[in-house]
């Protein structure tokens, strides 16, 4: 176990609950995000509603990355000179910040990757290869992002196993009854998204993990869409793995996180070979480094990790509980607003949702909707959202998707509704 992994952590005594964000709080928060004050299309204010794709970055994150490049730029872990030691310290402080943010027990349980996609591929090609053989089954929900489907398909094709889909209801919720029926002696792993990027559904992952563990089955949680919206406690969830991406939680692109239970990471073989993931190399034998370093071959995205550390500290300064409460209120408001509009069909009406609104309009295709909204300065996503099996489940090719963050407002949802009326006028 590494020195970093010797640092244990648990939530301290509960602080008094913090109230949800108020309008004044959000107005102040918005000042931290320069890009939110951009004007487009001849002076129209930007309404940024594409946060499920990528969030904006606060000044604190940009400043942290600049600080590294301007004052501490050096490689890590290998140098004895001052710059290298400063860079190493900043990189490992970021790892500890992420550990605290997700409440991992050990700092060494935090592996830096390029993002959720690489994290899941790492699990599939290491943990999965040692666990899954001919005839085995991997349970994956119908609402998964492609990055939590394709790696398991690739592994199963190679190993003679198969992926079994967990059904989704018409409301866009996982059918827990059907989920429970899928388990048998061939079930070797469950991979499930915490929050659907296409629907906003918040899945009951703790219940699903308990069910899987009762059958002796480990669980991989895709947390790409949950880390910036909900308090995450991997010890409370008891998940075996949890993956997330920096750029979806106010951090830089190209940096991500894989949390894995220590016993899994210790048993797993390396994902890639190279520098820093070794203790010694000879032509006769290579001795691998301990986790997390044995999974971080080569020079990592040092600036990205430092920026991610600044991002989670920024989110913590606001508070994940206030963020979640504010976003729940935004979700209720947006759902009522869009559901009341003639010609707008919401896709995904789960009881528990994050602020993601996927919708279709009878008068126009998703791409046409997106183009009209862009003319009004409103940024949304259109298409299948890398969730084609889910689109097939709802018998549609794709949707328009408005996805919000804690810096969005009711006024921006009102602007979206007004722009959708312009869509109806443009395509009578």
Domain membership flag for residue 12 = no
| DSSP code at position 164 | E
> What does the pLDDT read at residue 2?
40
Answer whether 399's CB lies under 8 Å from 152's CB.
no
Sheet with strand 219-222: strands edge to edge: 110-113, 256-260, 241-245, 219-222, 187-193, 137-141, 162-166
Where among 294, 317, 340 does a domain terminate? 317
| Whether 278 and 343 share a structural domain | no
DSSP calls for 59-73: HHHHHHHHHHHHH--
| Whether 186 and 224 share a structural domain | yes
Answer whether 107's CB lies under 8 Å from 9's CB.
yes
| Whether 79 and 42 share a structural domain | no
Domain membership flag for residue 279 = yes
| Whether 258 and 371 share a structural domain | no
Distance CA 326, CA 324 (A): 6
Domain membership flag for residue 150 = yes
Distance of CA 277 to the CA centre of its chain: 26
Which tokens is 242 given? 């949890």
Distance CA 237, CA 88 (A): 31
Candidate list 244, 250, 363, 386, residue with the active-site label: 386
Which tokens is 400 given? 């328009």
| Whether 252 and 389 share a structural domain | no
Q: What is the CATH number of the domain that holds 175?
A: 3.40.640.10
> What does the pLDDT read at residue 277?
86
Where among 264, 296, 317 does a domain terminate? 317
| Whether 329 and 309 share a structural domain | no
Where among 292, 317, 342 does a domain terminate? 317
> What does the pLDDT read at residue 15?
60
Domain membership flag for residue 214 = yes
Domain membership flag for residue 151 = yes
Q: Work out how many domains the chain is built from and give that number.
A: 2
Q: What is the CATH number of the domain that holds 375?
A: 3.90.1150.10
Domain membership flag for residue 294 = yes
Residue 386 bears catalytic tag: yes
Strands 162-166 and 137-141: parallel
> What does the pLDDT read at residue 58?
98
Continuous segment of H or E residues that includes residue 187: strand 187-193
Answer whether 145's CB lies under 8 Å from 224's CB.
yes
Q: Give the domain range for residue 290.
A: 63-317
- Within 107-258, where are the H helices? 116-123, 129-131, 150-159, 176-181, 205-214, 234-237
Answer whether 144's CB lies under 8 Å from 191's CB.
yes
| Whether 288 and 337 share a structural domain | no
| Whether 43 and 97 share a structural domain | no
CA 408 vs CA 30, 232, 316: distances in Å: 8, 21, 18
> What does the pLDDT read at residue 16?
67
pLDDT less than 70: residues of the chain: 1-16
| Whether 324 and 308 share a structural domain | no
Domain membership flag for residue 257 = yes
Distance CA 347, CA 199 (A): 7
CA 135 vs CA 45, 150, 158, 353: distances in Å: 55, 18, 12, 35
Mean of pLDDT over the chain: 94
| Whether 368 and 225 share a structural domain | no
| Whether 248 and 324 share a structural domain | no
CA 192 vs CA 140, 178, 318: distances in Å: 6, 14, 28
Which residues have CB under 8 Å from 311's CB, separation 6+? 57, 58, 60, 61, 246, 249, 250, 251, 252
| Whether 312 and 324 share a structural domain | no
Domain membership flag for residue 296 = yes
């Amino acid at each position: 176990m590494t020195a970093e992994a010797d640092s244990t952590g648990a939530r301290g005594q509960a602080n008094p609950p913090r109230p949800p964000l108020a309008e004044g709080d959000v107005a102040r928060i918005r000042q931290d995000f320069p890009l939110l004050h951009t004007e487009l299309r001849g002076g129209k204010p930007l309404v940024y509603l594409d946060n499920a794709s990528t969030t904006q970055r606060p000044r604190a994150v940009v400043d942290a990355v600049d600080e590294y490049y301007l004052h501490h730029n050096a490689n890590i872990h290998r140098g004895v000179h001052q710059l290298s030691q400063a860079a190493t310290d900043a990189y490992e402080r970021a790892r500890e910040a992420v550990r605290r943010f997700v409440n991992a027990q050990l700092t060494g349980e935090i592996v830096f990757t390029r993002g959720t996609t690489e994290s899941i591929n790492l699990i599939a090609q290491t943990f999965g290869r040692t666990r899954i053989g001919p005839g085995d089954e991997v349970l994956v929900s119908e609402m998964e992002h492609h990055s939590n489907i394709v790696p398991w398909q690739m592994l199963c094709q190679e190993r003679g196993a198969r992926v079994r889909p967990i059904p989704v209801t018409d409301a866009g919720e996982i059918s827990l009854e059907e989920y429970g029926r899928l388990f048998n002696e061939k079930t070797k792993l469950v991979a499930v998204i915490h929050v659907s990027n296409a629907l906003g559904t918040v899945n009951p992952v703790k219940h699903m993990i308990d069910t899987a563990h009762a059958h002796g089955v480990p669980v991989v949680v895709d947390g790409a869409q949950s880390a910036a919206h909900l308090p995450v406690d991997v010890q409370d969830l008891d998940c075996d793995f949890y993956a997330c991406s920096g750029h979806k939680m106010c951090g830089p692109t190209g940096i991500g996180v894989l949390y894995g239970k220590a016993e899994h990471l210790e048993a797993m073989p390396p994902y890639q070979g190279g520098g820093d993931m070794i203790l010694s190399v000879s032509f006769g034998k290579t001795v691998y480094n301990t986790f997390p370093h044995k999974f971080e071959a080569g020079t990592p995205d040092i600036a990205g990790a430092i920026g991610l550390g600044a991002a989670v500290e920024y989110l913590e300064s606001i508070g994940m509980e206030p963020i979640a409460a504010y976003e729940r209120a935004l979700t209720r408001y947006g759902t009522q607003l869009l559901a009341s509009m003639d010609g707008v069909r919401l896709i995904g009406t789960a009881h528990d949702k994050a602020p993601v609104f996927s919708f279709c309009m009878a008068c126009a295709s998703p791409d046409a909707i997106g183009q009209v909204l862009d003319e009004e300065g409103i940024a949304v996503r259109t298409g299948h959202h890398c969730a084609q099996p889910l689109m097939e489940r709802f018998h549609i090719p794709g949707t328009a998707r408005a996805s919000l963050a804690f810096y969005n407002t009711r006024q921006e949802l009102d602007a979206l509704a007004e722009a959708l009326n312009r869509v109806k006028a443009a395509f009578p």
